[in-house]
Amino acid sequence: MHADITPGRNPYDVDLGPNDANYVPLSPLSFIRRTASVYPDRTAVIHGNLRRTWAQTYERCRRLASALAQRGIGRGDTVAIMAPNIPEFVEAHFGVPMTGAVLNCLNTRLDAEALAFILAHGEAKVLITDREFSPVITQALARLERKPFVIDIDDALAAGGERIGQTTYEDFIKVGDPDYAYRLPRNEWDAIALNYTSGTTGDPKGVVYHHRGAYLNALGNALAWGMPHFPVYLWTLPMFHCNGWCFPWTVTAMAGTHVCLRKVEAAAIFAALAEHGVTHLCGAPIVMATMINAPAAHKRKFTQKVSMMTAGASPPAAVLERMEALGIDVIHVYGLTEVYGPSVVCAWHPEWDALPSETKASLKARQGVVYPVEEDMMVADPATLAPVPRDGRTLGEIFLRGNIVMKGYLKNAATTRKSFEGGWFHTGDLAVRYDNGYVEIKDRSKDIIISGGENISSIEVEGVLYKHPAVQAAAVVAKADEKWGETPCAFVELKPGAQASAQEMIDWCRRHLAHFKCPRHVVFAELPKTSTGKIQKFVLRERARTA
């Protein structure tokens, strides 16, 4: 229940142990309780014409928790959610853990097969799902032997879809107790969230977060960003990505306002900036591209200071300049699902402001240094764990260590152990380190393509291509793309005598993969191999540039 203490002879270890007065498990649940108590009437969420205060939102979270508990949901159970960035998703970040259960946010871009795998592997007992996703969820549920209890969110702003569940979210929470006396977790190490990552191997891996890490990274975001009280936060980053990088908890801790957004569209973004006084937003580079390339008619004026946190690919100088011209400051962070989203930040030095914009951009392109709440980072030889010199040239793998590193992968002890080998989390990302300690990623971990902020496992795509009857060998690499950051580019060797078109390959992939994972380009060619027969992806990456 309490932190362990080591008894000893010295007086500081005697009669000074933890008790109910001086020890409380760290949990982001403490944030909503305080905010609802101190600022009950401030606006917690904005969604279309809907406004709810913190008192109302807190009450709805407790109703949700109470209703889940009435259905027998408790410690260690999994509750999944499939939704865009709507108020119910914010509520789930509190209502679910209030029962002791674990929130499993589903990536709305996944196909039925991947969703079914995740629901089965995570053993979800309840699934909360937005009407708009009923087609793919219906297919996913059909594949499950043990089906979860399904709750429909019947959002007035949802486009299409139908109710497929046993009840609706509103009916479900109606029976919940608004004063439900939930408890903090027995232990701050208890799981709070489960996030599946495509990773580099075939099946998604379930990354488990604990209350302690969620609490610390929620505060870490505020500290790293220098976030003031009462941020107005626009939800341009999917909440299913690492729990929205922990911002459901950060914004709540800072007594801010969650401005919801079902779809990341330029008109809606600028409307929120102009009408709701948005001060902060997050997103992949695609969000910046969407804003910069918006038609002039959509670009509404706003006067407040706005800051945007981005990750996934380094923002180029031109993008930074055009964002600045829009009146938006950009902060560059780096992270992975395994480290609660962002845990590295390109911490800015005020004196850099005076540098030429190209130099500033090259400094901002660096991933940077660890968050205040993460302990340590190194760039090191993956085999020996010897740190590389701080010369800005020697490539090594990024390793992280600290309190915002996951508990591990669910039901996957071998991979968990491997990812923590040597007492560091192995990110798989390759970087250099500069003399000022800032790191810069030079190469993605070999098998991941990041498209529109989504991770695509090239191995997964290759697996599908290999199943095509005409394919002898296939390799998929990232191709730089102005809009998406990267898109998958497939190199295919056909079987002797076999014939196939690029479109045929793309159609084949679309039948077996989520749309965003499918190659945009297909090149038929003999694959370059090393003497030991390993495909030389670095050669293909070079070729993909001009493909």
Q: Report 525-544 residues binding a second copy (CB under 8 A).
A: none
Q: Report 199-218 residues binding a second copy (CB under 8 A).
A: 208, 212-213
Polymer length in residues for the chain: 547
- The three-class DSSP label of residue 175 is coil
CA 500 to chain centre: 37
Among 71, 75, 109, 543, binds a second copy (CB under 8 A): 75
Among 67, 253, 273, 306, binds a second copy (CB under 8 A): 253
542 Cβ partners below 8 Å, 6+ apart? none
In angstroms, the CA 536 to CA 528 distance is 6
Among 7, 11, 160, 496, binds a second copy (CB under 8 A): 11
Among 81, 119, 222, 278, binds a second copy (CB under 8 A): 222
Among 72, 202, 228, 327, binds a second copy (CB under 8 A): 228
Beta pairing partners, 457: 448
Q: Report 113-172 residues binding a second copy (CB under 8 A).
A: 123
State the number of binding residues for a second copy (CB under 8 A).
Answer: 77
**Backbone angles phi and psi of 413, in degrees to 5:** -60, -35
- Complete edge-to-edge strand list for the sheet that includes strand 408-409: 167-168, 149-153, 124-130, 78-82, 102-105, 191-197, 205-210, 408-409
Q: Which is nearer to a second copy, 376 or 542 (CB)?
A: 376
The answer to the question of residue 8 lying near a second copy (CB under 8 A) is yes
Q: Which two tokens stand for residue 177?
A: 């107790």
Three-class SS of 338-375: HHCEEEEECCCCHHHHHCCHHHHHHHHCCCEEECCCEE
501 Cβ partners below 8 Å, 6+ apart? none
Site string for a second copy, 412-441 (x = CB under 8 A): xx--x---x--xxx-----------x----
The residue among 191, 244, 214, 189 whose CA lies nearest residue 29 is 214
Q: How many CB atoms lie within 10 A of CB 223?
A: 14
Among 96, 406, 456, 535, binds a second copy (CB under 8 A): 406
Among 111, 132, 188, 447, binds a second copy (CB under 8 A): 188
Q: Report 350-389 residues binding a second copy (CB under 8 A).
A: 350, 369-370, 372, 375
Task: State which amino acid sits at residue 385.
Answer: L
Concatenate the DSSP letters of all residues of 436-499 into one string: TS-EEEEE--TTEEEETTEEEEHHHHHHHHHTSTTEEEEEEEEEEETTTEEEEEEEEEEPTT--
Q: Report 467-506 residues binding a second copy (CB under 8 A).
A: none
Q: Report 323-352 residues binding a second copy (CB under 8 A).
A: 347, 349-350
Q: Which is nearer to a second copy, 135 or 228 (CB)?
A: 228
Q: Report 230-249 residues binding a second copy (CB under 8 A).
A: 230
Q: Report 24-43 residues binding a second copy (CB under 8 A).
A: 24, 26, 30-31, 34, 37-39
Nearest distance from C-beta of residue 77 to a second copy, angstroms: 8
Among 283, 402, 428, 485, binds a second copy (CB under 8 A): 402
Site string for a second copy, 85-124 (x = CB under 8 A): -----------------x--------------------x-
Q: Which is nearer to a second copy, 189 or 466 (CB)?
A: 189
At which residue do the structure tokens 């799981």 appear?
191
Q: Which is nearer to a second copy, 427 or 458 (CB)?
A: 427
